[in-house]
Amino acid sequence: MAARDRLAGRYRAAYDRLAAAVEQAAARLGDDSVEVAYLRNELAVTCKALARYDEAESLYRRALATLEVASGPDHPDVAGVLHNLGGLAHARGDHPTAAALARRGLEIRRDALGDDHPDVTADRAALAPIVHALGDLDDAEELLVQVLATYERTLGPEHHEIAVTLNNLAAVHHDRGDLDRAAATYRRSLDMRSALLGPDHPELATTLVNLGVLEASRGRVGAAVEALRRAIALLEPAVPADHPTLVAAREELDLVRPVAGE
């Protein structure tokens, strides 16, 4: 049920269910059991979605410590938590730490599972926006193009992971100054996410904010306002008022509305 709630964007409900599950499993199986570690990892993913970053990091670190003892430091499950920790550091803006964690996780899974394993592709996909944030557009684009080709071959042309990859590739196009290509790629990502998750899912908001910023830079203020307002409407029921994406959407809208004559 918790996974279903998170998939549907009901992050608070998912948090409540998972927090209760962690407490119950720890009481029944022991605080350092592998099962509790898996639940803590899942709870941390939900905390990240709610921008509860300190709590997420504490949960990930506890899960990591348990799994390193139980399974060894080079187990793929350890790499999975490192992947998540890297994503969390990226969300917090600590890109060097994010890169170190993501690369360590990628190396562990590649050695354990082989270069063509889906989890290794997911690790590359997660590494790409971190590399982008560190300023290496060429490496980021190379990773994303490689990941996109793999996903399209293995998952089919319409999949959530493809939509996420397209959003990240559009960001690279944007930073290169290829604004038309960036806008088209953001819209392709948005259409795919909307079709797969539903038009009211809060995960659409990231792409909508990115698209709003891009449209404002192109002088298309009406389109920018529309995208930003939609992002805010999707996020407000789902996340805290200080969630970074919601704050960014409101701040950008405040900048764009006077230009739009509002």
Q: Among 3.90.1300.10, 1.10.132.20, 1.25.40.10, 3.40.109.10, name the CATH number for the domain at 176-262.
A: 1.25.40.10
Same fold, 1-71 and 176-262: yes
pLDDT at 260 > cutoff 80: no
Domain ranges of the chain: 1-71, 176-262
CB neighbour list of residue 157: distance below 8 Å, 6 or more residues apart: none
Confidence of residue 5 (pLDDT cuts 50, 70, 90): confident
pLDDT tens for each residue of 168-205 = 999 999 999 999 999 999 999 999 999 999 999 999 99
pLDDT tens for each residue of 128-137 = 999 999 999 9
What CATH code would you report for 1-71?
1.25.40
- Report residue 55 as tokens: 């709590």
Mean pLDDT of the chain: 96
Q: For the residues 221-242, what does the mean pLDDT come to? A: 97
Let me know: does 71 contact 34? Beta carbons within 8 Å: yes
- pLDDT of the residue at 178: 97
pLDDT at 262 > cutoff 70: no
Q: Cα separation of 18 and 21, whole Å?
A: 5
Q: Give the amino acid at 153.
A: R
Place of tokens 């996340």: 239
- pLDDT of the residue at 258: 76
pLDDT tens for each residue of 44-92 = 999 999 999 999 999 999 999 999 999 999 999 999 999 999 999 999 9
Q: For the residues 197-220, what does the mean pLDDT come to? A: 97
pLDDT at 261 > cutoff 80: no
pTM: 0.93
Q: For the residues 134-162, what does the mean pLDDT come to? A: 96
